[in-house]
Structure formats: C-alpha cells, structure tokens
Chain A
C-alpha cells in the first residue's frame, strides 16, 4: 500500500495552498430559563413502573444528569420539541443530559435536550426505547467542545427513533450502537459530524430521513472487539445531501476520520441493502464502501511517520486497533452489500481538497467526483476454492442510473484503480 501513501503524501503538499472551509453554522434559539431541577429529579428517581413523567412547557436548566434506572413502562412527555426545553449547559455532574439504564419499554416524546457536557440522551441495557418528537442540539457555533452523541442508545433491543431532530453533535447526531431491532425513520440530522450512525447493530432499518450539512450523512459501521457485530441493515427512501460540513470531531474519535463531503460510508458491515435513496452534492463521495483494513493501514502508516518524528503525543488520524485480526468473530470486510435503484446527483465537480481522497480524485479523474467508491481490498476468502467470487463478499450495484464508480484497489498500491463497475454478483437471497 506504500504507493498510495506516497501519492497521498505528495498530494497533501498541495493542501496548504488551499484555504480551509470554515463553518458558518450556528444554532441560537432564544431561551428564558427557569429551574425545576429538584422536582423533575425527584420524579425520575421515585416514579413507579407504568407511569408518566410530565415535563411542563418552558425552558429549564439542570446542573446534573436526569437518570432513569431499572424502571418499566415509563413515558417521559413534554409539550412538544419546541415548547419544552431541557438545557444542561452549566452541568456540574454527570456527562449525559438524560440517561436511561436497565429499563424496559421507555418512551421519550415532545421535548428538546440541549448542551449536555457529554451525550444529550443516552440509553443503555434497555429493551424497548422510543424517541419521538425529540430535538437534541448543541447551541452556538459548531465546535469540537460540543458533546459527542445526540441520541445514543447502546446495547439496547427494540429501538425506535422517529420524527426527531439532531443538531451539532461532535460525533453522531443519531447514533445506535451494539443494538438489535432498530428503526430510524422520519428524522432530520444536520450540522453534526455524522448525521446518522448505525454501529455494530443488527436488524436496522433507516428510512425517510433527511441528513444534510453534516461531515458525513450516514455511517453504517462495524468495529472489532465489541459485544455485538453489525449486520442486516436496510436503508431506503432517505435524502442525503450536501454533507460538506468541515469535520469538527475530536481526534481519536472514529468519525474524525470521515472526510468532509461524505454521503454514506459503509464500513465492514454485512448484509446491507441501500435502495430508493437520493444522494446529492457531496464533495468527497456520495457512497463509500470500505474495509477496516484500509483504516487500519492508514492509521498505521501515519503512526509510523509520527514515531519517526518522535511526536507520539501529536495524534493525526484516529488510532486503530491493529490487533483487530485477533478478534475471531470480526470480519474487517464489507459483504453482501446491495446498492440499487438510488438516485445520484452532484452539483460539485471540484472535490474537497482537504481530504486525501479528494486529492486522489483530482489526480486520477480530473474534475469529477465519484458517486460510489470501494477500497477494493479483497478478503482472504474473496475467491471460493473453485475460483468463483465468494457471494459473502459481493458488492452489488443495480439501476442507479449514470454513476461514476471507483475501485481504489488499495490493497495493490492503486495499481488496479479503475472506474469499471465489476461484474455484478447480485444474489437473489439478499
């Protein structure tokens, strides 16, 4: 892979000649705060199973997380996302705004959560969690000081996120991790580093959402070393456009590696169906399908450079677990990915030159930004013993109209870089 990096290193020199794009986005709603902390806190602590916690209309300031733990069948209900606002901007205790843990059948609806120090709403180890008509946001200009996740269900089953909005997350606006049976629909995610992210989750449906003005619109990721692995993700009827926000993620987070101008990135996930979506106006790529291998290789390369410079503390790209190969249950390659019947368009032709990929495009493709790119790194079992392509690693493209496709062939120093769409091996079993 050395050639790829040499090229990138060379091209990176060009970067300093080009001015950085800075974000002008700022979210500044008018607020008039009052304090009902003790009353609400008491309700969260003492509520009985099968009850409703009513949040009144108004703007309320909290100094600590609101925790709901070990409860069943609770509804937390406000007067509407624009009417009931819970702000954690001067939070002294806890990292989350609202934290739900070890619960069953919880519904949150009709309020906003703003400016938590860490994550706005986190739910863990919970079976049955619904977010409806909830807005999560960090106010003011975008900053790496913003909290990480807007919606953050992790290790949950039966998750529903609908009619919600997520703004300003320095990681993902709507995130679902290590969870099973997930529906994310009719939401808006904008001005986050990642708009919507499904990580190590299975049986996930993402539809009728709009993701725009993020660094990356939608991410479908599978990472090593975790309690569950990602598969069976369906994504349809989404409008993913203009995700050209400069990346304001903190280094060290995986989303900080997402190049500005990414529509959808699928990383190492199996059984992914992407159809009837509209991808538009991305300065790096409308859709990228990549393996963990390329991230690990890029990280290793950069780390090597750092060590040579004896500048260990100055991190560049995110550290990747180089020992991911020891995880027997983890497959670093994407597979059974079907991309069909989508609409692709792009009003840009000059790629984002802050990204190595943008530099690569301009050197290889001129003023053309690809719609779909794959890294082309082949799994060890990419070919079956009989020489046929292994359907487990198929990436199938069908009926996407006129698209510009790129296979980087990153495993072979870009030698096989091509815009030829490979022979389809779309399997009907998908």
Chain B
C-alpha cells in the first residue's frame, strides 16, 4: 500500500516535469533504453521476451524445447558457474558430427548463463546471475547477442558494448573471493567464436558433450538422451563417440586432462583455421606433431608475451615454457586466453604445469 502510494506520487511528480528534466532523472541504464532503436534491430531487448524460461526468470527453469547441457571440460571464466541450454525449434534436430560443432537447424539458440553462487559449497543455493550470452542460428550463420542482468535479477537486457561489475563469493575452501568481472562486448564474442570467416559455437561438439548427466529422470548420457528426445540425428553407435577427459577428475591421466583443458580453453583460436593460426600453434586434441603442439616450438609474434622464454613448451620445465607463462598471467598484454578472463585459473595452471613438468625427452609425434 505504502509502495503504491509512493509510486503514484513519483509518477505524478514525473509528469509535472518538462520532458528534458524527466530524462535526466532516469538512471544511466534506463536512459540507455530510451535510445534503443539500433539495438532493437539486432534482437529482442529483454531476455524474458524469448520465453526460454518458465516461472521466475532467475530460476532458469527451461521451458518447452529448451534442453540443458554440460561439457566434459568447460572454458574457464573467472570461476563463474554456467548453466547452458539449447533451444531447438519444433520439428527440427541437430545433426551429429564426429569432430566439428553439430549442425543446428535454423532458429536454434544456445543459451549460456554466467553466475556466481554466493557460496560455492552450496552451488544450488542463492546466486547472482551476471550475464546471458545467446548464439542464434539464422539461415546461413550464427549471431551472438549478450544480455546483462539487472541487479534485482528480474531481467537481463541486451547490451552490445559489454560492461564490468564487482562480484564476490565464497569459494570451495570457504574463502571470501572477489573479482572485477568483465562482460564482453559484441565484437569480443566474435574474437573467440570466429571460425574461418563466420561465427561458430565452441561447446556443442561430440567430444565435449559425450558424458553422463543427472536429471529428474536419473542419470543418462547426453547424446543418447537427445537422440531419444528426437533432437539429434545421425548419431553413430556409442563406441564411435569421442570423449574428452574431465579436466579436474583424477581418474583421467594428466595427459588427457591437460589436452582436454587446452582444447576447450585455447583450441577455438589455436587451430589451423582459427584466428591464432598466425602462430602455427595447434592446441586442439587433433594436433599431430610436437611442433604443432608447441613442444620446442619458438614463438612467432608473441611480443612480450614470450616473457624472455624461448619455446612454447619445454618438456620437463613448465617455468621455462611460454604456454605456462601466459596462462599464469593476468596482464592483458601477456595473458592467454587474451579475452574472457580477469583472473588466473590457479587449478588449470597447476594442471598444465604438472603436465609439462612430467614430460620426458621429446618423442616424435606423440
């Protein structure tokens, strides 16, 4: 009652003001939304307009035709958690590919929500969602659209220029953490998602998706489940499905975990067709030779990213390896990946260090 009175009071006050003054009382975010014709041409202005979620938007409960998915080894983004979904329009399907991103039908959308649980030890507990990135499949191409969540968590708004926000959380060890989280702008999205000349999703590939996940209906393999749901075709027999290791699961070998980590964190640029092809370094699981993989390979144009070191990987010596040096930096002129993080992935760096340190004398074509 008190609130609505205040509301009426405020409204009437607002209407008494000349137009110009009214605009000045708007918050910067609201002001931005007054002039959104250029944005409206790109996509829906509010995340809720798509109808991907039912109930409270911030509960991220998938609506019809919206399917959650997980990756064996995900990309590191300043320790943010991610809830990923695929929207597949009625009567259409994804098509399996053994190596590349699955072929998606027109109208499909990949929905990736970035959030921090307030306490990582209760990951399903209260959380703060920062941003939602959409990849929308049009007839010929993919389009990326970034949405930033309001502080009250009621809505996320299209914002092409990115932004930054202070986040804090309690990590798995019970330690208080904080970070200036950088939300990428529209063109930065492309910097990672470009393949050849066009945008392509990174995660939805067989080797990342081939894993068991838990759902209301128990535990099931994602690929098998999607085939059963009739949203995935051309799936070969299970023995032919590739699978990357889970980077932080010690049941896998250090080799496999390191290669899986580099594949998802670096391989989207460092592959023979990616933006980092200029470096002749291939960090996908498909690299054939020591040289392609960076072992005893001199850098090409690393600038001060080379850090006074001679080779990308010096077997047995992580601290002498440019790969480790650049992962272990948070200076934008040195660090790798060069976008999408503001912090160092301590656990990831430790894995790569262990991997390089245990490498023996270089063998040909390991």
**What residues make up the interface of A, taking CB atoms closer than 8 Å to B?**
38, 41-42, 44-46, 64-65, 67-70, 91-95, 99, 101-102, 116-119, 124-125, 144-149, 152, 154-155, 170-171, 175, 177-178, 223, 225-227, 250-254, 299, 303, 312-313, 315, 318-323, 326
| Residue in chain A with minimal CB distance to B42 | A46
User: Per-residue 0/1 for B172-210: is the Cβ within 8 Å of any A Cβ (1 yes, 0 no)?
Assistant: 000000000010111110110010011000000000000
User: Per-residue 0/1 for B271-285: is the Cβ within 8 Å of any A Cβ (1 yes, 0 no)?
Assistant: 000010110100000
Task: Answer yes or no: B299 CB below 8 A from chain A CBs.
Answer: yes
Q: Give 17 A-B contacts (CB < 8 Å), ordered by A residue.
A: A45-B160, A70-B197, A95-B338, A145-B304, A146-B304, A149-B301, A155-B277, A223-B300, A250-B304, A250-B306, A251-B306, A252-B308, A253-B303, A253-B306, A312-B314, A319-B298, A320-B298
CA distance A146 to B303 in the complex (A): 9
Cβ of B190 and Cβ of A69 under 8 Å apart?
A: yes
Chain A: minimal CB distance from B318 (Å): 10
Cβ of B303 and Cβ of A45 under 8 Å apart?
A: no
Chain B: minimal CB distance from A307 (Å): 11
Residues of B within 8 A of A119 (CB): 303
Residues of B within 8 A of A67 (CB): 185, 187-188, 190-191
Which residues 291-339 in B have Cβ within 8 Å of A in the complex? 291, 296-311, 314, 317, 319-320, 322, 331-333, 338-339
CA distance A315 to B302 in the complex (A): 16
User: Per-residue 0/1 for B152-187: is the Cβ within 8 Å of any A Cβ (1 yes, 0 no)?
Assistant: 000000001110100000000000000000101111
CA distance A65 to B340 in the complex (A): 13
Cβ of A227 and Cβ of B307 under 8 Å apart?
A: no
Cβ of A322 and Cβ of B296 under 8 Å apart?
A: yes
Residues of A within 8 A of B314 (CB): 312
List the 8 closest pairs (A to B, CB-CB), nearest first: A148-B303, A319-B310, A252-B306, A117-B333, A67-B187, A251-B308, A319-B298, A313-B320
Cβ of B278 and Cβ of A95 under 8 Å apart?
A: no
Residues of A within 8 A of B300 (CB): 177, 223, 226
Residue of A38, A149, A252 near B310 (CB, 8 A) is A252
Residue of B191, B291, B307, B317 near A225 (CB, 8 A) is B291
Chain B: minimal CB distance from A258 (Å): 15
Known: A45-B160, A125-B275, A147-B304. A94 touches B299 (CB 8 A): no
- Classify the secondary structure of B's interface with A: loop
Residue of B185, B280, B291, B302 near A64 (CB, 8 A) is B185
Residues of B within 8 A of A313 (CB): 309, 317, 319-320
Cβ of B339 and Cβ of A93 under 8 Å apart?
A: yes
Task: Answer yes or no: B363 CB below 8 A from chain A CBs.
Answer: no
Cβ of B278 and Cβ of A155 under 8 Å apart?
A: yes
Cβ of B161 and Cβ of A154 under 8 Å apart?
A: no
Cβ of B302 and Cβ of A102 under 8 Å apart?
A: no
Cβ of B188 and Cβ of A95 under 8 Å apart?
A: no
Cβ of B188 and Cβ of A315 under 8 Å apart?
A: no
Task: Answer yes or no: B38 CB below 8 A from chain A CBs.
Answer: yes
Cβ of B304 and Cβ of A315 under 8 Å apart?
A: no
Cβ of B306 and Cβ of A42 under 8 Å apart?
A: no
Cβ of B278 and Cβ of A94 under 8 Å apart?
A: no
Chain B: minimal CB distance from A230 (Å): 13
Cβ of B310 and Cβ of A45 under 8 Å apart?
A: no
CA distance A267 to B133 in the complex (A): 46
CA distance A146 to B308 in the complex (A): 14
CA distance A223 to B301 in the complex (A): 11
CA distance A93 to B341 in the complex (A): 9
Residues of B within 8 A of A171 (CB): 301, 303
| Residue in chain A with minimal CB distance to B186 | A45
Residues of B within 8 A of A93 (CB): 182, 184, 188, 332, 339
Cβ of A68 and Cβ of B187 under 8 Å apart?
A: yes
Q: Known pairs A45-B160, A65-B188. 17 more at Cβ < 8 A?
A: A42-B160, A44-B187, A45-B186, A64-B185, A69-B187, A69-B191, A102-B197, A118-B332, A125-B275, A145-B304, A146-B304, A155-B277, A170-B303, A225-B280, A250-B303, A303-B310, A312-B320
CA distance A125 to B303 in the complex (A): 20
Residues of A within 8 A of B303 (CB): 118-119, 147-149, 170-171, 250, 253
Chain A: minimal CB distance from B180 (Å): 8
Residue of A46, A118, A152, A253 near B333 (CB, 8 A) is A118
Interface centre among B185, B280, B304 (most CB of A within 10 A): B304
